[in-house]
A and B are shown apart, each in its own frame.
Chain A
Amino acid sequence: MRGRHAAWLMATAVLIAACGGDDDGGAAGAIEDLGDNEDKVVIVAWPGYIERGETDPAYDWVTQFEADSGCTVEVKTAGTSDEMVALMTGSDEFDLVTASGDASLRLIAGGTVQPVNTELVPSWDSVDERLQNAPWHTVDGVHYGVPYQWGANVLAYNTEVFGDTPPDSWSVVFEQTTLPDGQTNEGRVQAYDGPIYVADAALYLKSAQPDLGIEDPYQLTEDQYKAALELLRTQRTLVGRYWHDAFIQMADFTTEGVAASSSWPFQINVLQAEGAPIASTVPKEGATGWADTTMMHANAPHPNCAYAWLEWSIDPKVQGDLASWFGSVPAVPDACDGNDLLGAAGCTTNGFDNFDRILFWKTPTDDCNGTAAAGSCVPYYRWVTDYLAVIGGR
């Protein structure tokens, strides 16, 4: 028996050794010149970000690109930022990724993505100036991607419940209160079930409890973090169900009598199109949001097709169609005008003017995103475990 156990241990040890061989490819410089297009480009993207007309024939920004460039587009969808990071770090088969701010800096720090030579992206200057040098893709003046879309996590509310007095503060989802229809908000509000939602609590505390001294909701000291968790525990007693699937949330708004919740413009657009009494607002505290950047793998196997896509991705028509489809805001202001799918007011509806009031997602790190000594801030992995515990009633 002993012998057999030893054999198993040996096999396990070999397995560990085999797993351990990671190559650490450092970040190379940006590409100087482009060559001929390869046969394809492989993109890691959020669901709904790269549409080829299969869901709705009106929404197709892949077919024409393929015809023009000769590059077949292959898409691997990912449901969370963490999944995107895992896919990009774990493989060399991908060219591009549509990374949110809570993934992009991790990809840059890990050397997984390469700098983008903006001179090879002819339309670069058409990108919204507010985004061109955004800190979630620009490090030490070097650009690591091309902005794709952005949006806010808005406060959605039921107009029948709130009547003439729409909510102007996130307090309706954080504190026990009586809503304008005379009933309590207990069991009638929802919250996002991703750990990044801790930042929403911190954002509310920033104005509700100024003496905590919260500056940036993604850089929380131990005390600020504890206060945020405490607030989230209070919220647990009010929340019936946490949402993470946009469609389940829409069903909850229509069949469960949910009165208010953090939400995405996507759900608001769909619900309003169905005639549901739902509206949204960015409360006085501001809102968290996401800004996505198309980034290129350090070892991208199809760099020329990748650059072709980067240029195509900021085409005004593509940007406008995508904004209409996803309920997001285009990274190119020109896209707001004359897009049939988006409509004249589309950009305003989706939050174009709210840019300054939005704190974009970024990954909390223990050195406060490089602004303080290691150990000063609570890192993301603790957000994950603790938020799961909060939802579990701990």
Chain B
Amino acid sequence: MGAPAPSGTQLAREAQAGSRRALARLLTAVESRSPVAEEALRTLYPAAAGAHLVGVTGPPGGGKSTLVAALVGVAREAGRSVAVLAIDPSSPITGGAILGDRIRMQGHAADRDVFIRSMASRGHLGGLAGTTAESAAVLAACGFELVFIETVGTGQSEVEVASIADTTVVVQAPEMGDEVQALKAGLLEVADLVVVNKSDRPGADRTAMQLRAMLTLGEEVPSAGRPRPKHPAVLLASGLTAAGVTELLAALDHIHRSGVESNGPHAARLARARAQVEGILADRVRGTLWSGGERAGTEALMEQVAAHELDPYAAADRLWRRLEA
């Protein structure tokens, strides 16, 4: 078994001093929502405000990992320290996962100022793992200036990353659908920037043109009292050849900077705070209901609902009363 496990405060201190081993162990603790992580986050959270968190999302196979690897390369040329959180889905059946995003990022394996961590979604929906925001906070507190958060391959409505990142890029690939796809609500709406990746492939220009045409259809000034939609720029880039990637990172930094100056990200930070606190609360409720003492009672109620002997609201009421007691 070896030496006793270090405390959260101790791990946090070591990670901030540059120990990659301590940082990696801390991220494991965060993923498991362990008491060690809670203790460490109390120390680290105040120091986690400085980094630029960039969300990278889009459909599977669109080239997100390759593009992130190219962005990391550009950021490293500028001497910035970079971390990546790459999320892949957990199996809903076995709980297992294949975390394959590192394959595209192995060019940075020998660089100590790049830290890449894969995360399994562990049943969390929305494109992230339930503990991604806290993991990003740990990385930010340990001095990484730029943290890329790469979601699982997303569909149309997995927009959670936008509530966690400062800046969100939606990655599209050429020939993925006609104009009507770009009219739909959801993923494209949360983009601060849209990238048509694989610009080395045929059809990329046309796709970018269609996206631009559709994304600028909305009124600049919405009706009184209505939330203002974003009007993201559409850029072309290729993760493979690195064409357009320098411009992409510059655009991301520009959006972040102008947001900071106009105090724009306050809403984003509030959304992030809410997502984190609600996530922790939901986890605690779940943990309590399925803990040793409560488990049998919870299971019995679920059986009754499954058999239609009890309606789900009544079951929830009973569980709620038990939590309050």
Physical interaction between A and B = no
